[in-house]
Amino acid sequence: MLRSSFYYGVFEFSGETYQGIHKPIISKTLFDKCQEVIKRNSKTHISHKDEFWFLGLAKCKECNSAITAEKHFKFYPKTRGKVRYDYYRCGKKYGFCSQKYVSGNEFEKQIREILWRYSLYELNAKRMLNWLNTDETKEKQSAENKISLFKSQLAKVEQKLDRLLTGYLDQVIETNEYQSIKKKLIEEKTNLEEQISSFEKNQLAWVELVKDFIDSALEAHKIARAKNNGEELSFFAKKVGSNYFLSGRRLEFLPMRGFNALAAPLPRRQADAPVASAPLSLHNLRCFLNEVRTFFDENPEN
């Protein structure tokens, strides 16, 4: 009741504010002062997100409780003074859990390692985008040629339908024969129209998906190298992967669409050398681009 604007002569309906015709009970000034008191005395939920950027990212693998965070201070009288230390641990919502805490520095280090491994080195990303632009130009021309061919075939089918109808009206063709031929031509026409529509709408749908993926993987590489960027680390950790779990003080997760290929071994590439670490050979990099392209071409919505 104390929050209702109706008492000073205003009300809301369907998202719009209206001036009422009723006599106000209190003044707007008194109403505003009342809101200030309510706000000052109300208990509000305190969010610790600004203090602990990685809250909400992971769960405990042992008991499925959310990973929570806490801070501790230690005083060094002769050196650094009061120093803060952060820790992430299982919230133990469901009772006993044997998992131990992880220091904030170690937790952040593991996230940086994940982004580093599932990211693209600058030169690799540049080469891939250049190849992608070339592929796009070639495939666009190829698609246009196919569309032109289909439209030419469609025009011929429509001509046949016109001639068929003329023959039928002139009683040159019997009804049964007319209906049989017309059915086949209509089916052919429908098939051609569907192919034309498909090429016009989806011929290069995968291109933008791959470009977005490359841009994100490159950005992840930059963020992994930067410092004091906990908010960006947390955001891109969710973009690179999902289902984060903490087990034995180690983070586990599932790579998001496309990113799993970044850590997959390629021919003549060491297993511990991700695409982000250094420029790859042109052959290996092209193989990787083909893998990503095939994935997005086959899974445009997944």
Whether the model clears a pTM of 0.85, i.e. scores above it, the answer is: no
Chain mean position to CA 101:
30
| Rg of the Cα atoms in the chain | 32
Residue 46 within a domain: no
Given 160, 177, 203, the domain boundary residue is: 203
Whether 119 and 244 share a structural domain: yes
Residue 45 within a domain: no
Whether 10 and 91 share a structural domain: no
Chain mean position to CA 143:
28
Whether 163 and 114 share a structural domain: no
- Residue 78: predicted pLDDT: 77
Number of domains within the chain = 3
pLDDT along the chain (302 residues), means of 10: 72 65 78 78 54 90 94 84 91 92 94 89 89 88 89 94 91 90 92 87 79 89 89 90 94 84 51 52 80 78 58
Residue 275 within a domain: yes
Whether 105 and 181 share a structural domain: no
Whether 291 and 224 share a structural domain: yes
Residue 117 within a domain: yes
Domain span holding position 30: 5-40
Whether 302 and 237 share a structural domain: yes
DSSP assignment of the chain, as one string?
-TT-GGGGTEEEETTEEEE-SSPPSS-HHHHHHHHHHHHHHS--PPP-TTT-TTTTSEEETTT-PBEEEEEEEEEETTTTEEEEEEEEEE--TTS---PPPEEHHHHHHHHHHHHHHTS--HHHHHHHHHHHHHHHHHHHHHHHHHHHHHHHHHHHHHHHHHHHHHHHHTT-S-HHHHHHHHHHHHHHHHHHHHHHHHHHHHTTHHHHHHHHHHHHHHHHHHHHH-SS-HHHHHHHHHHHEEEEEEETTEEEEEEPTTTHHHHS--TT--TT--TTTSPPPHHHHHHHHHHHHHHHHH-S--
Are 217 and 33 in contact by the 8 Å Cβ rule? The answer is no
Residue 48 within a domain: no
Residue 47 within a domain: no
Whether 34 and 174 share a structural domain: no
Whether 228 and 154 share a structural domain: no
Whether 250 and 298 share a structural domain: yes
Given 182, 203, 224, the domain boundary residue is: 203
Whether 104 and 209 share a structural domain: yes
Instruction: Give the closest residue to 248 by CA, choosing from 90, 55, 71.
Output: 90
Residue 165 within a domain: yes
Terminal Cα-to-Cα distance of the chain (whole angstroms):
48
Residue 136 within a domain: yes
Instruction: Give the closest residue to 58 by CA, choosing from 230, 217, 234, 231.
Output: 234
Whether 138 and 110 share a structural domain: no
Whether 108 and 212 share a structural domain: yes
Given 203, 219, 249, the domain boundary residue is: 203
